[in-house]
Amino acid sequence: MLVRERITSTGIHAVLIAYSLLALFPLALIVINSLKSKKAIFRDPVGLPVGEAFSWKGYASVLTNSDFPLYFGNSLIVTCVSLFLILLFGAMASHALSEYRFPGDTFLGLYLILGIMVPIRLGTVALLQLVVDLNLANTLTALILVYTAQGLPIAIFIFTEFLKSVSREIKDSARIDGLSEYRIFFEVVVPLVRPVIATVAVFSMIPIWNDLWFPLILSPGEETRTVTLGVQQFIGQYTVNWGAVLASLSVAILPVLIMYVIFSKQLIRGITSGAVKG
Amino acid sequence: MATLELSGIKKSFGAVEVIHGLDLQVKDGELIVFVGPSGCGKSTMLRMIAGLEKVTEGVISIGGKRVDHLPPALRGIAMVFQSYALYPHKNVRGNLGFALKHAGVPQSEIDERVNTAAEILELAPLMDRKPRELSGGQRQRVAIGRAIVREPDVFLFDEPLSNLDAALRVHMRVEILKLHQRLGSTMVYVTHDQVEAMTLADRIVVFRDGQVEQVGTPLELYRNPVNTFVAGFIGSPAMNFLRADTDGNSVRIGGAHLCELNSSAGELQLGIRPEHLTLNEDGALKGVVSVFEHLGGESFVHVELPDKQTLVAKLDGELSFAPGEQCTLAIKPSQCHVFDMQGRKIVPNTHAMV
Ligand SMILES: Nc1ncnc2c1ncn2[C@@H]1O[C@H](COP(=O)(O)OP(=O)(O)OP(=O)(O)O)[C@@H](O)[C@H]1O
Ligand SMILES: [Mg+2]
Q: Do A192 and B89 touch (CB under 8 A)?
A: yes
Question: How large a percentage of chain B has pLDDT more than 70?
Answer: 97
Span A132-137, mean pLDDT? 92
Q: Which of B83, B110, B149 to mutate to test the interface with A (most CBs of A within 10 A)?
A: B83
Of the candidates B292, B190, B274, the residue with the CA atom closest to the CA atom of residue B231: B274
For a mutational test of ligand 1's pocket, the pick from B10, B18, B45, i.e. the residue with the most ligand atoms closer than 8 A to its C-beta, is: B18
| pLDDT computed for residue A276 by the predictor | 45
Q: How far is B50 from chain A (nearest CA, A)?
A: 8
Span B228-240, mean pLDDT? 91
Q: How far is the C-alpha of A85 from the C-alpha of A72, rounded, in Å?
A: 20
Of the candidates B163, B188, B194, B166, the residue with the CA atom closest to the CA atom of residue B176: B188
Residue of A167, A183, A271 with shortest CB distance to B85: A167
Residues of B in contact with A176 (CB under 8 A): 50-52, 72-73, 77-79, 99
Q: Around ion ligand 2, which residues have CB less than 5 A away?
A: B 43
Q: How many residues does chain A have?
A: 278
In the sheet where B285-294 sits, what is the strand order? B278-279, B326-330, B285-294, B298-304, B310-316
Q: How far is B97 from chain A (nearest CA, A)?
A: 10
Residue B351 has pLDDT above 50, yes or no: no
Q: How far is the C-alpha of B50 from the C-alpha of A176, rounded, in Å?
A: 8
Of the candidates A97, A116, A98, the residue with the CA atom closest to the CA atom of residue A108: A97
- Stretch (H or E) spanning B17: strand B16-26
Of the candidates B235, B241, B215, the residue with the CA atom closest to the CA atom of residue B342: B241
Question: How large a percentage of chain A has pLDDT more than 70?
Answer: 94
Rounded to the nearest 10 degrees, what angle do helices B107-120 and B92-102 cross at? 130
Q: Strand B250-253 to strand B57-62: parallel, antiparallel, or no bridges (unpaired)?
A: unpaired
| One-letter identity of residue A31 | V
Q: How far is the C-alpha of A131 from the C-alpha of B265, rounded, in Å?
A: 90
DSSP A254-268: HHHHHHHHHHHHHHH
Q: How far is the C-alpha of B77 from the C-alpha of B79, rounded, in Å?
A: 7
Residue of B52, B77, B132 with shortest CB distance to A274: B132
Of the candidates A182, A186, A172, the residue with the CA atom closest to the CA atom of residue B147: A172
> A168-222 pLDDT, tens per residue?
999 999 999 999 999 999 999 998 888 888 888 888 888 999 898 999 899 888 8
CA of B189 to the centre of ligand 2 (A): 11
| pLDDT computed for residue A238 by the predictor | 74
In the sheet where B4-13 sits, what is the strand order? B16-26, B4-13, B57-62, B65-66
In angstroms, how far is the first alpha carbon of chain A from the final one? 32
Span B290-319, mean pLDDT? 91
Ligand 1-lining residues (CB < 6 angstroms): B 13, 18, 36, 38-44, 192
Q: Strand B4-13 to strand B57-62: parallel, antiparallel, or no bridges (unpaired)?
A: antiparallel
Q: How far is the C-alpha of A234 from the C-alpha of A226, rounded, in Å?
A: 14
| pLDDT computed for residue A206 by the predictor | 87
CB pairs under 8 A between A and B: 83
Check: complex ipTM more than 0.90: no
| pLDDT computed for residue B354 by the predictor | 39
How many of the other CB atoms lie within 10 Å of CB of B162?
15
> A11-38 pLDDT, tens per residue?
999 999 999 999 999 888 888 888 888 8
CA B207 to chain centre: 10
Span B45-62, mean pLDDT? 95
The secondary structure of residue B150, as a DSSP letter, is T
Is domain A56-277 annotated with CATH 3.40.50.2000? no
Q: How far is the C-alpha of A4 from the C-alpha of A153, rounded, in Å?
A: 46
Distance (Å) of CA B204 to CA A98, B38, B138, B190, B275: 36, 16, 27, 10, 21
Q: Are B82 and B163 in contact (CB under 8 A)?
A: yes
Q: How far is the C-alpha of A69 from the C-alpha of A64, rounded, in Å?
A: 9
CA B152 to chain centre: 23
| pLDDT computed for residue A1 by the predictor | 62
Residue A65 has pLDDT above 80, yes or no: no
Is domain B4-230 annotated with CATH 3.30.56.10? no
Mean pLDDT over the full length of chain A: 86
Distance (Å) of CA A274 to CA A259, A277, B94, B159: 28, 7, 15, 18
Q: How far is B14 from chain A (nearest CA, A)?
A: 11
| pLDDT computed for residue B1 by the predictor | 65
Residue B68 has pLDDT above 80, yes or no: yes
Q: How far is the C-alpha of A157 from the C-alpha of A164, rounded, in Å?
A: 11
Q: Which ligand is nearest to the CA of B47?
A: 1
Residue B252's beta-bridge partner residues? B245, B257
CATH superfamily, region B239-346? Nucleic acid-binding proteins (2.40.50.140)
Atom of ligand 1 nearest to the CA of B42: 21
Residue A9 has pLDDT above 70, yes or no: yes
From start to end of chain A, where are the E strands? none
| pLDDT computed for residue A103 by the predictor | 92
> B18-41 pLDDT, tens per residue?
999 999 999 999 999 999 999 999
Write down the domain spans for chain B.
4-230, 239-346
Q: Do B83 and A274 touch (CB under 8 A)?
A: no
Q: Does B83 touch chain A (CB under 8 A)?
A: yes
Q: How many residues does chain B have?
A: 354
> A250-274 pLDDT, tens per residue?
888 888 888 888 877 766 554 443 4
How many of the other CB atoms lie within 10 Å of CB of A238?
4
Span A49-64, mean pLDDT? 80
